[in-house]
């Protein structure tokens, strides 16, 4: 994969992170279960780190990261609103699946970066993947119970 191809894929991941950050903020505000609301607020804080880290990685690789996405914001807002229709479990399942998908993306990015001889950047992607995997597992526990 070329550097430009990797940057395009990372840009898509960044948009997903921006949407996740907004989603967790919205869900935490509307959530009546205090324990889940605190978990989601923690995720929002970690999403801030994910966005900064991924943006920095994109810059280091010669790209220009987006700061926001109207489409992702609207999607996050719409999905968060469905929890008011009694669809909390469905929304949490979607979030868990999205987190798991992004974990796989970051592992893929890490493999590509290793192939390009960029070990430090690959390690950053591994850390991003671990955060996503932890989020997916925590959300799945809420879906299952």
Helix H, strand E, coil C: the string for 47-72 is HHHHHHHHHHHHHHCCCCCCCCCHHH
Average pLDDT value for residue range 67-86: 85
Burial 58-85 (b: 16+ CB within 10 A, else e): beebebebeeebeebbeebeebbeebee
Instruction: Give the pTM.
Output: 0.91
Q: Which pLDDT does position 123 carry in this prediction? A: 97
Count of C-beta atoms within a 10 Å radius of residue 18: 24
Burial 114-131 (b: 16+ CB within 10 A, else e): eeeebeebbebbbebbeb
For domain 3-144, which architecture applies? Answer: Up-down Bundle (1.20)
> Is residue 92 within 8 Å of residue 39, measured between CB atoms?
no
Confidence tier at 132 by pLDDT (50, 70, 90): very high
Pick from 58, 71, 42, 64: nearest CA to 131: 42
* Location of structure tokens 């990261």: 65
Q: Which pLDDT does position 79 carry in this prediction? A: 86
- Please report, for the chain, the start and end positions of each structural domain, with discontinuous segments joined by +: 3-144
Kindly give, in sequence order, each residue whose CB lies less than 8 Å from that of residue 86, ignoring residues fewer than 6 positions away.
Answer: none
- CA 32 to CA 118: how far, in whole Å? 45
Average pLDDT value for residue range 30-41: 90
Q: Which pLDDT does position 86 carry in this prediction? A: 78
């Amino acid at each position: 994969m070329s550097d430009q191809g990797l940057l395009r894929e990372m840009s898509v991941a960044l948009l997903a992170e921006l949407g996740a950050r907004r989603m967790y903020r919205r869900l935490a505000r509307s959530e009546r279960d205090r324990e889940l609301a605190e978990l989601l607020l923690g995720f929002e804080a970690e999403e801030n780190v994910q966005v900064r880290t991924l943006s920095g990685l994109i810059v280091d690789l010669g790209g220009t990261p987006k700061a926001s996405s109207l489409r992702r914001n609207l999607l996050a807002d719409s999905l968060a609103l469905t929890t008011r229709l009694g669809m909390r479990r469905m929304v949490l399942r979607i979030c868990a699946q999205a987190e798991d998908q992004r974990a796989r993306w970051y592992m893929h990015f890490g493999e590509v970066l290793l192939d390009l001889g960029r070990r430090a950047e690959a390690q950053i992607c591994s850390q991003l993947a671990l955060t996503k995997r932890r989020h997916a597992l925590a959300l799945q526990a809420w879906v299952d119970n």
